[in-house]
Structure 1
Amino acid sequence: MKEVYANGHEIAAQAGGGKVTAAFPDVCLSPPAPPAGPIPVPYPNSSFSKDMKNGSKSVMIGGKPVMLRDQSYYATSPLGDEAATRNFGAGVITHTITGKTYFNSWSMDVQFEGKNVPRHVDLTTSNHGSNSNESVPIPNLSQSSAASGGQATRDACPCCAGPLHENQKNPETGEPYDTIPEADFYQGIAGHYMKRRSEMQKLLNELAASNKPLPGWATELASNDKNPAYRSLTKSDVIIAKGGRLRGGL
């Protein structure tokens, strides 16, 4: 498929390769049954643009529909939280399992059929019963446009061709960050979340055994500094460099 971009980022479309990987944590009440359970378990959910529903009707990319703001969603099965049980209350935030993935950010100035179009690295939330959700937002991963031929990506932003932005430089030296493969960047983030899963599960088990209330990150959208999944995760903007590589690092 020929990629189509909005503001330098690939538009989310059914024919594209968009994916939401290891959206975490989706805390769901899970077996065993009472009196031993149910037990709150944090699940990582994954969904894909190929499973998009309610897309555009008149505008197509690659012959297939395009994602539209507050209308379209990913409906991937399996999602990742199938081990949870609806009878026990399902997700503690959404009260469902195997729910939909909606975007909650998009291009501000590119619209199809009167609706804004979501793109690569726009944020999503997963396991929806409807299109309003308080789960942790995770970026949709696809592609950004590469730098133009001959551009010195060490000295210019590969997206806007202007001077490097502050997030693209080492704050201690002022030098540009080295580039790393896009897949490695996101794999590192996903790996970090999965390492934190056991820590969060241990805490949930202890709280369940003592009948104490669940922490805010398990029941509502908490700030990143209160969510163990984000601990020690360096915060940096994602900038695509020439050849599908990124400036910045974990």
Structure 2
Amino acid sequence: MPSHITVNGLGLTYKGTIGLSIATIPDVCKTPSPGGPIPLPYPNIATQSTLKDGTTTVFAKGGKMIAVKGSQYGMSSGDEPGTVGGVKSNVFKKATDWITYSFDVKMDGKNACRHTDKKFHNDKNTVNLAGDLDPLPPGGQALLDIVCECHKHIDDVDAGRSRKATCPELGEQKHSCVDAGCRLHNAQGKTPKLQAEECYSVETGDHIPNVSRQCPPNVPFWQHRRWLSGKIFPDGAILDANGKVDRFTEYKFQCPKGTPVAYAKATGAPRGLSEGTTPQTWTPAKFNKKGVMKKADQRTRTVELGAKQKPPVTNPPLLLTSEMCK
């Protein structure tokens, strides 16, 4: 199952979790041919089930070994034809090694490893720069399909406009599209049911119906923003058979390169252009000038909201990003 234990707001990797580490750069291996070995690119995949060299005194969930600096996924696959070995490592099907890890959380005196950390593959012949992929929960694939369809559709529509939408405007349009897709999914009788964006009380976790995050017409933005204080708007949720929240969901969309970040009010000219490289991850915590946290990171706030539901939501929130689209 996906990790329910977090380190620095990220899932901790331990023996009981399942998921894949897929090299994001081809694993180029020397492959036998009649004319001698030739270098050919292959995929390289490792699974969390092969974790080795983990903790020996600190464990997760009933004695599960935890991945720390120096741990490995003991073997990989996908490059089997390259029997002469990687162009750099001279081996194939070999282990992964963590490149990044937590700098301030340690287990057995070693830095803890998380799902999103980067890894070398096949004895450092290639790398995974994206982190592990957990299998999507029930309803997750249907929701990802909606996310990807909306991401492509809104970008395609915007490409035909003379005045390009800004990154925030595109984001709002894509989120509205996903909300509509969730409602259509439910109307077609598909299961599990998907919940569009809804409002909740941060303090009590109570659902507040018929409240929108969008500022109504003719209402000053500052006034609406003040009214939203103490409220939280998860992008969506996957519901259980009883219509209760099974897990909250969040969507992140990459703004296309060259898209205006904003327009200058005086001239109407674009004010900054997107590089198309913004990391698609949970919104980080906010701190004041003295380093005191003013607002917890988005994932933590969503987990805390889940704990206040009746019954409590025990599944971790699901982050779906446009980077996951094929």
TM-score with structure 2 setting the length: 0.44
Partner Cα separation in structure 2 for residue 9 and residue 21 of structure 1: 18
Aligned to 1:49: 48
Q: Establish whether residue 96 from structure 1 lines up as the match of residue 111 from structure 2.
A: no
Q: Establish whether residue 152 from structure 1 lines up as the match of residue 226 from structure 2.
A: no
Aligned to 1:245: 319
**Structure 1 residues 184-213: Cα deviation after superposition (integer angstroms, max 9, x where no partner):** xxxxxxxxxxxxxxxxxxxxxxxxxxxxxx
**SS of residue matched to 1:27:** strand
Partner Cα separation in structure 2 for residue 168 and residue 117 of structure 1: 32
- C-alpha change, 1:67 and 1:41, in structure 2 (3 Å) is farther
Aligned to 2:129: 138
**SS of residue matched to 1:50:** helix
Partner Cα separation in structure 2 for residue 30 and residue 60 of structure 1: 41
1:116 to 98, 111, 116: 111
Displaced runs of 4 or more, over 6 A? 167-171
Counterpart code for 2:100: S
2:100 to 105, 109, 122: 105
Counterpart code for 2:233: A
- How many residues of Structure 1 are paired with residues of Structure 2 in the alignment? 167
Q: Calculate percent identity across the aligned residue pairs.
A: 26
Which has the bigger relative contact order, CA under 8 A and spacing at least 6? Answer: 1
TM-score with structure 1 setting the length: 0.57
Which range is displaced more, 6-15 or 66-75? 66-75
- C-alpha change, 1:70 and 1:111, in structure 2 (3 Å) is closer
Partner Cα separation in structure 2 for residue 168 and residue 68 of structure 1: 34
Partner Cα separation in structure 2 for residue 64 and residue 127 of structure 1: 28
Partner Cα separation in structure 1 for residue 70 and residue 58 of structure 2: 14
Counterpart code for 2:98: F
Q: Which runs of 5+ in 1 are unaligned?
A: 144-148, 155-164, 176-233
Partner Cα separation in structure 2 for residue 91 and residue 136 of structure 1: 12
Partner Cα separation in structure 2 for residue 142 and residue 14 of structure 1: 15
Partner Cα separation in structure 1 for residue 39 and residue 257 of structure 2: 40
How much does 1:170 deviate?
A: 9.0
Partner Cα separation in structure 1 for residue 77 and residue 18 of structure 2: 17
- C-alpha change, 1:9 and 1:44, in structure 2 (3 Å) is same
**SS of residue matched to 1:41:** strand
Cα RMSD of the aligned pairs, angstroms, is: 3.2
- C-alpha change, 1:142 and 1:7, in structure 2 (3 Å) is farther
